């Protein structure tokens, strides 16, 4: 199936560092969602973005809906060990109800 | 948000058998979605299940292999039929909650291993 390009694929960072990941596509999206998935669990919604240019925060997380509607990024500030997991973006294509998922960013935080 | 419960949470099955996965939501929803997540991979939509109509399958997925039921607005099942080791994946149920626009929430997933 179709997937979004998400980068980086994986990251190893020190506790306290900031993290940035992004998703890009050649298609236009109406909505961007960011999820975190931990082992043995389903994805948990972190942030939802609805308008081009929108910048939204949820605690230490900040995400933006790209102005072209073809990309989005997620920043995590001052990372902590419990930030470990796989982060997925998901975009809802214009004119559909379906979400397409990014390839995932695997984050590991070294204490 | 919504509470989405899937059963079983995991199973190990023999090839050639079938497994039915249940998804229960704590509120009425119009559409329910089934995803597959192969080991180390992202999520791929299998089908969309609406009450009272046949499920809509994505390219690469067929009803004979993944029959879906949607008897009411809070429940759905996905069956993985005639399983082979290639069907070993996490299967996830998802629902859209809210309006303008809705947000997608997931169950905890069913981890299937076919031996």
Where would I find the beta strands (DSSP E) of chain A? 5-7, 10-14, 19-24, 29-37, 44-49, 55-58, 61-65, 71-76, 85-93, 99-101, 105-110
Regions of chain B with pLDDT less than 70: 100
A38-76 core/surface letters (b: 16 or more CB in 10 A; e: else): eeeebbebbbbbeebebebeeeebbbbbbeebbbbbbeb
Better pLDDT: A3 or A69: A69
**What's the whole-number average pLDDT of chain A?**
94
Tens of pLDDT, residues A27-52: 999 999 999 999 889 999 999 999 99
pLDDT at B65: 98
Chain B residues within an 8 Å CB radius of A35 = 106
- At A1, the pLDDT band (50, 70, 90 cuts) reads low
Of A1, A41, A98, the CB nearest to B109: A41
Of B4, B44, B48, the CB nearest to A1: B44
Tens of pLDDT, residues A90-105: 999 888 888 999 999 9
pLDDT at B4: 95
Answer yes or no: do B107 and A42 touch at CB < 8 A. yes
Tens of pLDDT, residues B35-59: 999 999 999 999 999 888 899 999 9
């Amino acid at each position: 199936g179709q997937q979004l390009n998400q980068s980086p694929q994986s990251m190893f960072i020190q506790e306290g560092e900031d993290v940035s990941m992004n998703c890009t596509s050649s298609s236009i999206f109406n909505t961007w969602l960011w999820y975190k998935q931990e082992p043995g669990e389903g994805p948990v919604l972190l942030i939802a973005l609805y308008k081009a240019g929108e910048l939204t925060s949820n605690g230490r997380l900040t995400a933006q809906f790209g102005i072209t509607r073809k990309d989005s990024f997620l920043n995590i500030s001052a990372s902590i060990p419990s930030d470990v997991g796989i982060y997925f973006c998901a975009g809802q294509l214009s004119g559909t109800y379906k979400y397409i998922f990014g390839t995932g960013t695997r984050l590991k935080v070294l204490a | 948000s919504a509470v989405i419960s899937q059963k079983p949470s995991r199973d190990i099955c023999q090839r050639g058998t079938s497994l039915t996965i249940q998804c229960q939501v704590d509120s009425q929803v119009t559409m329910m979605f089934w995803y597959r997540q192969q080991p180390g991979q992202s999520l791929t939509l299998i089908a969309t299940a609406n009450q009272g109509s046949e499920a809509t399958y994505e390219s690469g997925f067929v009803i004979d292999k993944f029959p879906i039921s949607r008897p009411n607005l809070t429940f759905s099942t996905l069956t993985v039929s005639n399983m082979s080791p290639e069907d070993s994946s996490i299967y996830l149920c998802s629902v859209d909650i809210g309006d303008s626009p809705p947000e997608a929430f997931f169950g905890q997933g069913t981890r299937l291993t076919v031996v």
